[in-house]
Amino acid sequence: MRMKRCVAVLVLALFAMGMVAGCEQKAPNQATPAPQAGEILVGLNCELSGGVASYGTNAANGAKLAIDEINAKGGVLGKQLKVLERDSQSKTDEAMNVSADLVSKGIVAQIGPLVSGAVAACTPVMNENKVPLIAPAATAPGATVDEKTGETFPYIFRACFLDSDQGVRMAEYAYDTLNMKTAAIYGSNSDDYAKGLAKYFKEAFEAKGGKIVAQEGYVSGDKDFKATLTKIKAAQPEFIYVPGYYQEVSILIKQARELGITVPMGGGDGWDSPDMITVAGAEALNNTYFTNHYSVQDPKPEIANFVKAYEQKYSKTPDSFAALGYDSAYLLAEAIKAADSADPVKVAEALAKTKDFPGITGTMTFNEKHNPVKSIVVIEFKDGKLVSH
């Protein structure tokens, strides 16, 4: 009996500890949120664990690198930026929960989450509390706009281009620069991303006077593309657009070259991976192009410096998410400077007015839908090297 009672007491103690732990956090919250003088709080709400942990971790790393740099240069408005980092576990409900927590701590703005769905979950919290959110990589058209009323959410911004922009850019590049008049589309049918790219490429290419001679699709996980490629070859396109992710695209390009299809091919930022060269081989990738947020091998000094600093700090090459996270943090810092205040409402107004902001991922100007109008790099694979155009 005694033993049992002891165990019961222990268990209750454990519960009590859990409760106290929960309450401890409560204490500072109860007071009116007021960040300490000399500090401006920036919330990072990223997917640090779970299904898309690599996106969130890289973007958070990029943002933290930017904030360290800003602080080393004396901060903003004479104050240091302090990062509050939280993990949304790649869950939409946790993302919303984290947002509410960060907002109650008195942040000036939130960077993240990465995935469009999680951004949608945070949106009502941010709008209600009038705190801006910068989404580094939410590409869904509805992320910044209320699809029911067509009104722009006043406090939601994004740092990346939309899928539509990417499709249009590649169509322009193929038609104008490469001078291709006919094209085939062979993209993934498994996700909205690739389907969107194919749709916008087709519209833009046809609007320019080009002709789509064949349109085919594959499913993610496919390994053999030869039958469809033979069909496409028979249609004799001058250009093949392959929107999708590198896992399939790398194999697809290799098989296309084996079948003697030598025409140029193009794709979107889903191609961005070192695996492209290891799987497809440098030779097969010659004469292929993809649109991307930025190029790691860009010789521009600010990009080279960013890549160097990132590699030094995290010992890995920064991907697009890292670059977008980095840009998001600088966008915010610029807006705080422009607003001359760390008041979230004023910062949101300044963000909306952002013009010609020089980012790693291009020069950004926000349009009325809080989407950045920015340059999209087209990257060419040339003998295993990335050349940006």
Considering only residues 170-209, where is the footprint of other proteins by CB under 8 A?
191-192
- The smaller minimum CB distance to other proteins, of residues 142 and 281, is found at 142
Establish if 48 lies at the interface with other proteins (CB under 8 A): yes
Contact 332, 347 (CB under 8 A): yes
Positive or negative, the Cα torsion across 275, 280, 283, 285?
Answer: negative
Q: Toward other proteins, which CB reaches closer, 10 or 234?
A: 10
Strands 109-111 and 239-241: unpaired
Which residue of 6, 13, 18, 343 would you call a contact of other proteins, by CB under 8 A? 18
Q: Supply the minimum distance, in Å, between the C-beta of residue 50 and other proteins.
A: 8
The Cα–Cα gap between 365 and 354 comes to 6
- Applying the rule CB under 8 A, the residues between 144 and 163 that interact with other proteins are 146-148
Look up residue 220 and give its two tokens. Answer: 């993610």
34 binds other proteins (CB under 8 A): no
According to DSSP, the β-strands at 182-188 and 239-241 are parallel
Closest contact distance (angstroms) between CB of 156 and other proteins is 13
Is 121 a binder of other proteins (CB under 8 A)?
yes
Cα angle at 313 between 356 and 89, to 5 degrees?
Answer: 80
- Taking the complex as a whole, the smallest distance from the CB of residue 58 to other proteins amounts, in Å, to 14
3-state secondary structure (DSSP) of residue 295:
coil
CA distance 7 to 208: 77
The interface region with other proteins, picked from 16-24, 75-83, 131-139, 201-209 by CB under 8 A, is 16-24
Nearer to other proteins, 93 or 283 (CB): 93
Q: Which of 13, 38, 74, 128 binds other proteins (CB under 8 A)?
A: 128
Helical (H) or strand (E) element with 229: helix 226-234
* CA distance linking residue 316 with residue 295, whole number of Å: 15
Residue 295 interacting with other proteins (CB under 8 A): no
How many residues of this chain interact with other proteins, rule: CB under 8 A?
48
Q: Which of 6, 13, 14, 77 binds other proteins (CB under 8 A)?
A: 14
Half-sphere exposure of 69 (CA within 13 A, CB side): 17
On whether the CB atoms of residues 131 and 109 are closer than 8 A, the answer is yes
Binding window for other proteins (CB under 8 A); candidates: 69-77, 139-147, 263-271, 379-387: 139-147
Residue 16 engages other proteins in binding (rule: CB under 8 A): no
**Among 92, 189, 215, 286, interactor with other proteins by CB under 8 A:** 92
Q: Tell me which residue has tokens 């590699």.
A: 311
**CA pair distance 58, 81, nearest whole angstrom:** 19
Under 8 Å between Cβ of 151 and 80 = no
Burial class from Cβ neighbours inside 10 Å (0-12, 13-18, 19+) for residue 37 reads exposed
**Among the residue ranges 46-54, 177-185, 323-331, 338-346, the one whose residues contact other proteins (CB under 8 A):** 46-54
114: Cα within 13 Å, side-chain hemisphere? 28
CB nearer other proteins, residue 103 or residue 324: 103
Q: Does 87 bind other proteins (CB under 8 A)?
A: yes
As measured in angstroms, the least distance from the Cβ of 254 to other proteins is: 28
Binding segment for other proteins among 3-11, 217-225, 271-279, 338-346 (CB under 8 A)? 3-11
- Based on C-alpha coordinates, what's the Rg of the chain? 24
Interface residues with other proteins (CB under 8 A) are 5, 7-8, 10-11, 14-15, 18-19, 21-22, 25-26, 29, 48-49, 51, 85-87, 90-94, 96-98, 100-101, 103-104, 116-117, 120-121, 123-125, 128-129, 140, 142, 146-148, 191-192
